Chains A and B, each alone.
Chain A
Amino acid sequence: MRIELNGQSKDLDGPSTVAELLRALGLERAPCAVEVNAQLVRKALHPSHALAEGDRVEVVTLVGGG
C-alpha cells in the first residue's frame, strides 16, 4: 500500500493504522501530531485509524519559531 508521508511517497507492508505507522517510524513516544488528508487524527484514535491507499499523511512536531 502506498501513502504520501510528509510530502514523500512511502510504501507500507500491508494494512496499517496511524499508531502502527508511528511505531514503524520510531515516533510512538515523540510529541507529535498526525493529520490524514488534512484532518487531525487525535492521539486517542491513532490505534483505530486505518490508513488507506493514497492517504496524505502529515506527522508534525514543534520547532523553534517566532
Chain B
Amino acid sequence: MRLPKATASRSLPLLEAADAEYLMTTQQPPIIARTSPIAPALPPLRIGSFTLKSRLVVGTGKYRDYPTMQAAIEASGADCVTVAVRRERLVDAEGRSILDFLPLERLTILPNTAGCFTADDAVRVSRLGREILEQLGNPGAGWVKLEVLGDRTTLLPDPVGTLEACKELVKDGFTVLCYSSDDPIIAARLRDAGAASVMPAGSPIGSGRGIANPAAIRMVIDRLKLAEQGGSADYPVIVDAGVGTASDIVHAMELGADGVLLNTGIAHAQDPVRMAHAMRLALDAGWHTARAGRIPRKLYANASSPWEGVITHIPGE
C-alpha cells in the first residue's frame, strides 16, 4: 500500500526552534571553515547587570573531593558556579572550606536557596548568602538562585512560594534567578515580578532525565522571548536541573535556551572532568544548531544520492 504523497512529505515542526525570531536577534559569530581550529566564542550571557562569558553554569555539590570539583569547573569553562548556604560545622577537624578551591578572582559565585520550602526561609537564606559574599568581595553578593521547593521527594518548585519570595527579594535589591517548573504561565508571572531570569527545570533535580517535556520548555522560552507573546528576545532563559548527559544540553539549547545550569550530571559522572568538557562542547553545539536552521523532520526518506542515472531496478516502478 502506498501513502499519499502529502503525508510522505509532511514536516513535523512542533519543536523546531530554528525559525524563532529570538534566535536570530543576538549577535552571531561567523563560522569560518578551515581557518581556525578554535570555535568562535559565543556572545556573553547577560542576566540583569551581570555578564557571563560562558553560558554553562555549574554547581559545586556532590563531588567526591574538592580537587576533582576544581578540575571539572575548569574543564567546563564556566565563569559562574552555584553554592549553598549551610550551618558552619563547628566540630570539623579538617576545616577545609570549599572557598579554598574556588578561584574567586575569576568566578562569580551564585548562592542558591536550596533546601528552602517557604518564601520566608528563602529570603533569610538569600540574605545570609549575600552577607558572606560581600565579605569575600565577590560580585555574586548581588544575586541569588531562588529555589522554593514543594517537597523533598520531587524537589519540584513551589510556584506560589517562589513568586512570593521573588517579589520580596527584588524589593530588597537582589538580582533574582528563579528556578521554576516548566510552565509558561508561572514563568511569565515570575518575569513580571522582576525575576532577572527564569530557569525552568528540564526534569527533577538530580534525576538525569534530561528535558522531560520539550514542548513545555519551548512554550516557556516562547512566552518569555517572543514579542508576539509579550516577551523579549534578550530576556535570559536558562534550563536548570535534570541534565544527565551532554545531549540534554544540546536539546535545551536547540529549544532556544540561553544557557544551562547543571550539577549532578557532571559531579556524579564516572569521569567528572571529561564530562564537564563534553558539556562545554554540547553547549556550543546546541547554540549553533539552534541558529543553523535544521531540516524539518519528515516521516519518510529523502534520498541524498540522485535518482537520475540509476542503473538499477527500483521496486514499484
- Measured CB to CB, the residues of A under 8 A from B are 5-7, 25, 27, 30-33, 35, 38, 40, 42-43, 58-66
Contacts and interface: CB of A to CB of B under 8 A. Distances in A.
Given A38-B124, A63-B85, A66-B263, 13 more contacts: A7-B87, A30-B97, A31-B136, A32-B132, A35-B128, A58-B128, A60-B87, A60-B128, A61-B86, A61-B87, A62-B97, A64-B59, A64-B98
Contact of B84 (A7, A33, A58, A62): A62
14 contacts: A6-B87, A6-B90, A31-B135, A31-B136, A33-B85, A33-B129, A35-B124, A35-B128, A59-B90, A65-B82, A65-B83, A65-B114, A66-B60, A66-B205
B127 interface: yes
B82 A30 contact: no
Interface of B: 59-63, 69, 82-88, 90, 97-99, 109, 111-112, 114, 124, 127-129, 131-133, 135-136, 205-206, 241, 261-264
Given A6-B90, A59-B88, A60-B86, A40 B112 contact: no
Given A31-B99, A32-B88, A64 B83 contact: yes
A40 to B, nearest CB: 5
Contacts of B261: 66
A65 B84 contact: yes
Q: Is the interface of B mostly helix, strand, loop or mixed?
A: mixed
B88 to A, nearest CB: 5
Contacts of A32: 88, 132
Interface centre among A43, A59, A66 (most CB of B within 10 A): A66
Contacts of A63: 61, 83-86, 98
Contacts of A31: 97, 99, 132, 135-136
Nearest to A7: B87
Counting from the closest, the 3 A-B pairs by CB-CB distance are A65-B84, A66-B263, A66-B59
B100 to A, nearest CB: 11
Interface centre among B63, B114, B132 (most CB of A within 10 A): B132
A40 B135 CA distance: 14
Interface centre among A6, A35, A38, A64 (most CB of B within 10 A): A64
A40 B90 contact: no
Interface centre among B87, B97, B136, B206 (most CB of A within 10 A): B87
B156 to A, nearest CB: 15
B112 A66 contact: yes
A38 B124 CA distance: 7
Interface centre among A5, A33, A42, A62 (most CB of B within 10 A): A62
A59 B131 CA distance: 12
Contacts of B263: 65-66
A2 to B, nearest CB: 16
A60 B88 contact: yes
